[in-house]
Amino acid sequence: MTTRHWLQTGRRAFLLIMLAFFLAPFLWLATTAYKPSSAIFSIPPTFAFSPTLDQFRTIFRLFDVWSLLRSSVLIATGSVILSLALGVPAGYALARSKSRYAMGIAYFLMAIRMIPSVAALIPFYLMMRDIGLLGSWMSVVLINSMLNSAFVTWLMFSYFRGLPPELEEAALTDGCTQFGAFFKVALPAVMAGIIACVLFCLMFSWNDFLYPMFLTRLESKPLSVALLSAYGTKDITWGTLGALAHFSTIPIVIVILFLNRYFVQGLTKGIH
C-alpha cells in the first residue's frame, strides 16, 4: 500500500508543478494590469506592488475601447450565427443520410480545418477587394465562418451520429414534418454539442487576428488587432496591455472555464 501512496503523492506533486507552469504566465499578465508602471519597470523586477487602476484609465484614454469591443462582438456573433446556421443542419443531414457520399463530404469538411489561414487569406483578400467588402467586419465574418461552419458540420455530424434515430422515426410516423423532426426532436437532444460549437466558434473568431489585421480598417478593428498595434507604441506598457487583455482574453477564458464540461466533451468528440 505504501508504494501506491507514494505514487499518488508523486502524481499530485507533479500536477501542482504543472499547474504552476501553465498558470503563472497568464496570472502575470492579468496582474500587470493592476500594477503601477513603476513596479513593472523596476530593476530588478519586483513581485511586490500596491494595486492601482491607473492602467485601465490609460487604455480608455488611448483607445476607443467601446468601438473595439463592438467590432469584436460583431465579428464573433456574426460568425457564431452564420457557422451554426450552415453547419448544424448539414451535420444532421450527413449523419442521417444513407448516401455513400455523406461520409466523404464529412471528411472533406474536416480537412478544410487544415488549410493554412494564409493560403486562404491572400486570394480572399483580393476577392474582397474586388467586391468592395475590404475593410468591413463582414469580410472577417465571411472567412471565419468558412473555417467554422466546416468544423461545426463535422462536430455536429459526430453528435447526431451518436443519437439513435428511433425517436425521430416515431415522430415522423406520427405525422411530424421532416423539419419538425430535426428541429423539435433531434436538436434538443444534442444541446451539449450546440454549446460546444458556440464555444469553438466564439473562441476562434474572438482570438483570431490574422484575418482582421488585413481585412479591417480603423473603425472596424477588433480588440485583437488593437492589442497588436498597441504593442511597441509610445505610452504603452505591459500594464496597459494587461488591462487591454482583460477585455480581449479574460472573458473567453472565464466562459470556457465555466462551460469546461462542454468544451472538453466537444473537443474529444470533434477530434475522433
Partner 1 sequence: MAFATRRKLFLAIMAVPVVAYVLVVGIWPLAQGIWYSLYDYNLIRPQRTKFAGLDNYIEIITDPVSRQALINTAIFTVGAVFFELLLGFALALSLWRDDRFNRLALALILIPVTITPLVVGLIFKGLLAADYGMIGYFLAQWGLTDPRGLLADQHAALATLIFIDVWEWTPLVALILLAGLKALPSDILEAASVDGATGFQKLRIIVIPLMLPAILLALILRTVDAFRVFDTVYVATGGGPGNATNTLMLHAVKQGLEFFNIGRASAIANLTLLIIALIAAGFVMMIRHADRKANGK
Q: Could you say which residues in the range 141-180 bind partner 1, by CB under 8 A? A: 142-143, 145-147, 149-150, 153, 178-179
Q: Is residue 48 involved in binding partner 1 (CB under 8 A)?
A: no
**Cell 443531414 maps to which residue?**
93
Number of residues binding to partner 1, judged by CB under 8 A: 87
Q: Name the 3-class secondary structure at 52.
A: coil
Name which position in 63, 124, 160, 247 contacts partner 1 (CB under 8 A). Answer: 124
Question: Which amino acid type is present at position 206?
Answer: W
Which residues in 83-102 contact partner 1 (CB under 8 A)?
Answer: 86-87, 89-90, 92-94, 96-97, 99, 102
Angle formed at CA 56 by CA 53 and CA 60, multiple of 5 degrees: 145
- CB nearer to partner 1: give 191 or 260: 260
Place of cell 488591462: 243
Q: Which is nearer to partner 1, 1 or 118 (CB)?
A: 118
The piece of 48-56, 63-71, 190-198, 253-261 that touches partner 1 (CB under 8 A) is 253-261
Distance between alpha carbon 211 and the CA centroid of its chain, in Å?
A: 14
The footprint of partner 1 on residues 185-214 (CB under 8 A) is: 203, 206-207, 209-210, 214
CB of 28 to partner 1, least distance (A): 6
Strand partners, 135: 216
Q: Which of 125, 134, 135, 195 binds partner 1 (CB under 8 A)?
A: 125
Question: In whole angstroms, how close is the CB of 223 to partner 1 at the nearest point?
Answer: 9
Instruction: Identify which of residues 47 and 188 has a Cβ nearer to partner 1 in the complex.
Output: 47
Contact status: 49 vs partner 1 (CB under 8 A): no
Shortest CA distance to 197 belongs to which of 83, 72, 38, 64?
83
* Dihedral angle of Cα 214, 217, 222, 223, to the nearest 10 degrees: 90
**According to the binding rule CB under 8 A, does residue 73 interact with partner 1?**
no
Q: Cα(269)–Cα(40) distance, rounded to whole angstroms? A: 43
Interaction of residue 81 with partner 1, rule CB under 8 A:
no
Cα 85 to Cα 266: distance, rounded to the nearest angstrom: 18
- Region binding partner 1 by CB under 8 A among candidate stretches 60-68, 159-167, 185-193, 260-268: 260-268
Q: Is 240 in the site for partner 1 (CB under 8 A)?
A: no
- Tell me the three cell numbers of residue 76: 464573433
- Cβ burial, residue 105 (10 Å; 0-12/13-18/19+): middle
